[in-house]
Amino acid sequence: MKLKYLSTALATALCVAAAGTGLAQNSAPPAQKVTATTPAPKLVVMIAVDQFSADLFAEYRGRFTGGLARLASGIVFPSGYQAHGATETCPGHSTILTGNHPAHTGIVANNYFDLSVAREDKRVYCAEDETVAGTTSKSGQYAPSVNHLLVPTLGDLMKARDPKAQVVSVSGKDRSAIMMGGRQADELMWLAPTGLTSYRGTTLSPAAQQASSAIAAAINQPRAALTLPADCTTHDIAIPLDKGATVGTGRMARDAGDFRRFMASPEADGAVLATAAALRQVRKMGEGSGTDLLIVGLAATDYVGHSTGTEGSEMCIQMAGLDRELGDFFARLDATGIDYVVALTADHGGHDLPERNRQNAWPDAQRVDKALNPGAIGKEVAEKLGLPQPLLYGDDGDYHFSKALTAAQRKAALAEILPRLRAHPQIEAVVTRDQLEAHPISKRAPDTWSLLDKLRASYNPQRSGDFIIALKPRVTPIPESGIGYVATHGSVWDYDRRVPILFWRKGLAGFEQPNAVMTVDIMPTLASVIGVPVDANKIDGRCLDLLSGPESSCR
């Protein structure tokens, strides 16, 4: 069996769905070189590939022949940075189309604690409305919402300038669709076991419903094992985990209806891309007088990274599939003759599982010590000092003290807890709210940032905790190698911060800029290309000049 995924069948189904609704005329694409006087492109395509680290891009760059090869021939920033410390999905996506660090987007983590919320569950998911009755932050039980995003997205600015501008956001994950799509998107949806879904109470458009049915049908088919591409054989080594399990030699076979395994395969990315292409076609995006925005969130690389790590057969299959699916997607766009610009980046990088790192020349790679439990330390301290319990709320390294404490009690608790945590051999630093409050957001290039600079860029006084724990490099914060979740990201270290930033447009001369730039630079860069004014005082990023030579695309 060849590397042939859902998207071909799905694309065919969706093409049929779109037939008769007025396909774009095939007109000659702009052949001439793009210069400072070339009119704005008609369509911006923003693609986020979750967990597509700069390391993965470097490893596979020479093998790409499809969509990623095209982008690698464009304008390449191999040292892009999700500059902040909390390198999780939601903060990362919030930077891409807002031009702002999580400190300003307000999206400081995937989940954070807000002890002032009325409901019993004080944990708040980044993309939920916790005021909806009967909800909790648990998966499937929250009400998806954009409420927590504090700044406008590129799509919001485009809509404010021209209400006819179309903005469509399709992703594997809700938080990706929402954080990149913003408040004003015409359509916004993500993958679900039932196909596609959106905010509670909203109905999918007829085209999205057809896509959803095709995706649901695909999920409900079993999938046979995929054939390993020839150049993946060196990755095909079994890595032993706890309880006799292994990773590293997977072929992505799955049972009918296994949504998690569907998500951890190029099928999921193919489904999102086919949906995006179909919606563009039906809505005639890129065919009007202005510029439209199509946002695509591809989550499969992240699912593969978490479930099987970054260096096995599974990721090799995923990279080949992603490259191919993107190639098919661009071919469909090319066929329309629309002048489009593509930007591609990632929400964060990633790090391989310690068990494989230890086999591959990194013997010190570790899993976090099970005994390192801030909750348990909080309990000990509360008992010692006679303070109310629970003393601490938090996870992912970000901790809040109970609101029941007086200022003096809080100070005493901190004085007791900090030395205990800082003494742990896996902890690099524990940084307090006071330290972060006193520290300005760095204006320097992100490859020179200190640990405090990184944590400050994802610190927001209304949402962040009283102290933040940073683990040492190559300490994976998953204590056991359980099946399904073996590796992760989220650290302050560069393997989680560095991501490629790629731009491509027909006729735009390619160049490589190896110096460090940031994902917060993407929004002002694209805004300038399409002539949307941005107040430089309201963003953290800067416009990157995409025209090689003396001309500039920044205005």
Which window, 190-198, 294-302, 441-449, 500-508, contacts Zn ion (CB under 5 A)?
294-302
Residues 461, 440: Cα–Cα separation, whole Å: 13
Residues 319, 503: Cα–Cα separation, whole Å: 19
Write the DSSP string, 94-115.
HHHTT---HHHHS--SSEEE-T
**Any idea which residue has 């916004």 for tokens?**
188
**Any idea which residue has 């790192």 for tokens?**
357
Which window, 102-110, 205-213, 301-309, 530-538, contacts Zn ion (CB under 5 A)?
301-309
Burial label, 461 (beta-carbon count in 10 A; 0-12, 13-18, 19+): exposed
DSSP 504: E
Which window, 242-250, 295-303, 390-398, 427-435, contacts Zn ion (CB under 5 A)?
295-303
Which lies closer to Zn ion via its Cβ, residue 187 or residue 302? 302
Residue in the shown chain whose Cβ atom is closest to Zn ion: 302
496 binds Zn ion (CB under 5 A): no
Q: Is 153 helix (H, G, I), strand (E, B) or coil?
A: coil
Residues 363, 478: Cα–Cα separation, whole Å: 17
Shortest Å distance, C-beta 376 to Zn ion: 26
Shortest Å distance, C-beta 519 to Zn ion: 16
Shortest Å distance, C-beta 484 to Zn ion: 13
φ, ψ dihedrals at 133, nearest 5°: -60, 140
314 binds Zn ion (CB under 5 A): no
Distance in angstroms between the alpha carbons of the first and the last residue of the chain: 51
Q: Does residue 96 contact residue 298 with C-beta atoms inside 8 Å? A: no
The number of beta carbons lying within 10 Å of the beta carbon of residue 141 is 12
- Between 25 and 44, how does the x/- string for binding to Zn ion read (CB under 5 A)? --------------------
**Any idea which residue has 């072929």 for tokens?**
251
Which lies closer to Zn ion via its Cβ, residue 37 or residue 139? 139
Which window, 263-271, 300-308, 462-470, 476-484, contacts Zn ion (CB under 5 A)?
300-308
Shortest Å distance, C-beta 144 to Zn ion: 18
Residues 304, 353: Cα–Cα separation, whole Å: 12
- Between 377 and 406, how does the x/- string for binding to Zn ion read (CB under 5 A)? ------------------------------
518: β partners? 81
Which lies closer to Zn ion via its Cβ, residue 95 or residue 402? 95
By CB under 5 A, what part of segment 206-265 binds Zn ion?
none
Shortest Å distance, C-beta 49 to Zn ion: 12
Residues 52, 498: Cα–Cα separation, whole Å: 9
Query: CB under 8 Å to 494, separation ≥6 — which residues?
Result: 349, 447
Q: Does residue 172 contact residue 185 with C-beta atoms inside 8 Å? A: no
Shortest Å distance, C-beta 89 to Zn ion: 5
Catalytic residue among 21, 35, 65, 89: 89
Shortest Å distance, C-beta 450 to Zn ion: 25
Shortest Å distance, C-beta 306 to Zn ion: 6
48: β partners? 297, 345
Is 476 catalytic? The answer is no
Give the count of residues interacting with Zn ion (CB under 5 A): 1
The residue count for the chain: 555
Which lies closer to Zn ion via its Cβ, residue 302 or residue 540? 302
Residues 112, 177: Cα–Cα separation, whole Å: 19
Shortest Å distance, C-beta 229 to Zn ion: 24
φ, ψ dihedrals at 169, nearest 5°: -130, 120
Which lies closer to Zn ion via its Cβ, residue 66 or residue 350? 350
Calculated CA dihedral for residues 346, 347, 348, 350, nearest 10 degrees: -70
Residues 310, 94: Cα–Cα separation, whole Å: 24
Which lies closer to Zn ion via its Cβ, residue 348 or residue 506? 348
Q: Is 128 helix (H, G, I), strand (E, B) or coil?
A: strand
Write the DSSP string, 332-375.
HHHHHT--EEEEEE-S------HHHHHHTT-TT-EEPPTT--HH
The reply to whether omega before 390 is within 30° of 0 (cis) is yes
Q: Determine the number of helices (DSSP H) and then strands (DSSP E) in the chain.
A: 19, 20
302 binds Zn ion (CB under 5 A): yes
Strand ranges for 285-327 from DSSP E: 292-298
Which lies closer to Zn ion via its Cβ, residue 250 or residue 524? 250
Which lies closer to Zn ion via its Cβ, residue 68 or residue 263? 263
Shortest Å distance, C-beta 56 to Zn ion: 13
Which lies closer to Zn ion via its Cβ, residue 93 or residue 474? 93
Which lies closer to Zn ion via its Cβ, residue 250 or residue 349? 349
Which window, 1-9, 297-305, 401-409, 425-433, contacts Zn ion (CB under 5 A)?
297-305
Residues annotated as catalytic (active site), given as ranges: 89
Residues that bind Zn ion (CB under 5 A): 302
